[in-house]
Amino acid sequence: MSCISPNLPLPRSVLPTWASCRATTSTVSQSPLASFGSSQERMRRALDAVRAGQGVCIVDDEDRENEGDLIFSAQTLSVPQMALLIRHCSGIVCLCLTDERVRRLGLPMMTEVNTNTQGTAFTVSIEAAVGVTTGVSAADRVTTVLAAVRPGARPEDLRRPGHVFPLRARPGGVLERRGHTEATVDLMALAGLAPCGVLCELTNEDGSMARLPEVAAFARAHSMPLLSVEDIAAWRRAAGEEKTRQAGQVA
């Protein structure tokens, strides 16, 4: 349906149609992401949330995967949070780790030749060596995550394969790769937490991937912050520029 110019005289019978058209145009022009505040406001809310042990939703670029992930800090992960991930997401619960942590745990990559379109760096899947039964329940998966991220964790603390899927983040974070893996690790580090987090892709009830409008609706329904990978990249770029400016003043 095309919109009629508001400068033309309209018959009374057409007025409701014009009002509906204006509302539709206004809705389309308003990005669901913008309704969560400015980029800096979204970042501050997300940092506060993960520090408080709460979840956040992160969307990537529309020309990339164009999906939203539900993310929690790995070090504060709870069974109810894992249950939420399993219930509303794809079921492939991933543990985002730094390259250093992956090496310390002795986790080989899932494949030596990665032909994934996005270069997603899966290691072999894992299970906690002790404290789990089938490994697939929410409680068992939390046990596995905590075993992998605790200080002093060793390769023998884990069994392979399992029901948790580690992902190795690039050292440069979102400034090197604009993925949810790097966004998760960067966000936790910026919040002053251990640089590790759990993520899973949000899905709709019919099993299709949740896009920005659906992710925004989920975030509102669960009182969670929503931000983008670009928000994190912009925050990091601004922080880097500020450090450079301060270094120049000292010099």
Annotated binding site for Mg(2+): 65, 180
Rounded to an integer, what distance in angstroms lies between the CA atom of residue 122 and that of residue 53? 25
Annotated binding site: 64-65, 69, 177-181
Query: Distances from the Cα of 3 to the Cαs of 16, 61, 75, 148, 210, in angstroms?
Result: 12, 30, 52, 57, 30
Angle between helical axes of 180-190 and 39-51 (0-180°, round to 10):
70
Judged by phi (left if over 0) then psi (alpha if -120 to 50, else beta), residue 29 lies in alpha
Rounded to an integer, what distance in angstroms lies between the CA atom of residue 72 and that of residue 191? 12
Rounded to an integer, what distance in angstroms lies between the CA atom of residue 86 and that of residue 130? 22
Q: SS3 of 120, please? A: coil
Annotated binding site for D-ribulose 5-phosphate: 64-65, 69, 177-181
DSSP line for 48-116: HHHHTT--EEEE--TTTT--EEEEEESTT--HHHHHHHHHHB-S--EEEE-HHHHHHTT--BS-SS---
Q: Is the dihedral of CA 19, 23, 25, 26 positive or negative?
A: positive
Q: Where are the alpha helices (DSSP H) in the chain?
A: 15-29, 39-51, 79-88, 99-104, 138-149, 180-190, 212-221, 229-250
